Amino acid sequence: MEPRKNYTVILADDDFDDAELFQSVLSDVAPQIKFVHVEDGSDLLRLTEKLLPDAVFLDINMPRVDGWQCLKQLRESAIGERIPIFMYSTSSHSRDQQLSKDLGASGFITKPSEIKVLQQVLTNITQKLLDGDGLAV
């Protein structure tokens, strides 16, 4: 199987610092993956109508359409059923982790303050993506 040439991940996060860090680390661990940043859930939903990403990362607290609504709508849409969706939030609350599972997210990532930790997390995820294993939904 010929590896796919283009991979795209989308991060929906209203925090530009976080988005920048995410991009920085992602380009370090997987430079071949295209990164798209949107500011909130509504932008993401609009984007996915034209673009099929390989993975989606959702912040929870966002203006207009928040992470939960976005997750729910994506999972109900045709494309959303097949792509991995990760919650990417500062929260470490068990309640949020449970909700994330209930709504069908592929994983819950607490935004780390250490780059090493984020590197580790993104390496694991992109490796699986690039290996073409697909990610468990």
Partner 1 sequence: MSHADDKNNTGQNPRQAFSNSENYFRQLTDTIPAIVWITDPSGYCTYLNQSWYEFTGQNEQEALGYGWLDATHPDDKQLSADVFLTANAERRPFRMTYRLKRKDGQYRWCTDSGRPKFNAAGEYEGMIGNVVDVHEERMATEKLRNISAHLQLATTASNTGTWQLDVQTRALTWSDYHKEMWGYDPALQNLVYEDWHKVIFPEDRTEAFYRVERALQTREQYEAVYRIKRAGDGVVRWMKSLGRYDYDDNGTPLTLTGITIDITEERNAMEVIRQKEQKFRLLAENLPQIVWVSDFFGNHEYRSSRWVEYFGAEDLENGWISRCHPQDRDRAESEWNRGKDEQRPFQFEVRIKDLNDNYRWHRSVAEPITDDQGSIVKWVGAFIDIHDMKTLEDQLNTLVTKRTSELARSNEDLQQFAHVASHDLKEPVRKVKTFIDRLLFEFKDELPERAVNYLSRINRASDRMQAMINGVLDFARIDNSRIIHEKIDFDDLLLKIREDLELVIAESKAQFVYSDLLPLKGTPILLYQLFYNLVSNSLKFTREGVAPVIRISTEIIQHDTTTADSTKPKQFIRIILRDNGIGFPNAHAEDIFKTFVRLHSRDRYEGTGLGLALCRKIVDRHEGKIVAEGIEGEGAKFTIELPE
What is the rounded distance in angstroms from the CA atom of residue 43 to the CA atom of residue 84? 18
User: Which residue in this structure is represented by tokens 């992602």?
Assistant: 26
Is residue 17 at the binding interface for partner 1, with CB under 8 A as the rule?
Answer: yes
Is residue 120 at the binding interface for partner 1, with CB under 8 A as the rule?
Answer: no
Is residue 123 at the binding interface for partner 1, with CB under 8 A as the rule?
Answer: no
Nearer to partner 1, 6 or 113 (CB): 113
Tokens at 14, concatenated: 């209203």
> Looking only at residues 61 through 100 of this chain, which bind partner 1 when binding is defined by CB under 8 A?
61, 90
User: Which residue in this structure is represented by tokens 């969706």?
Assistant: 85
Part of the chain binding partner 1 (CB under 8 A), chosen from 44-52, 70-78, 97-105, 109-117: 109-117
Which residues touch 118 (CB under 8 Å, ≥6 apart)?
A: 21, 22, 25, 111, 112
What is the rounded distance in angstroms from the CA atom of residue 81 to the CA atom of residue 75? 5
Name which position in 49, 102, 116, 133 contacts partner 1 (CB under 8 A).
116
Nearer to partner 1, 114 or 131 (CB): 114
CB-based contact 100:75 (threshold 8 Å): no
Residues that bind partner 1 (CB under 8 A): 15, 17, 21, 61, 90, 111, 113-116
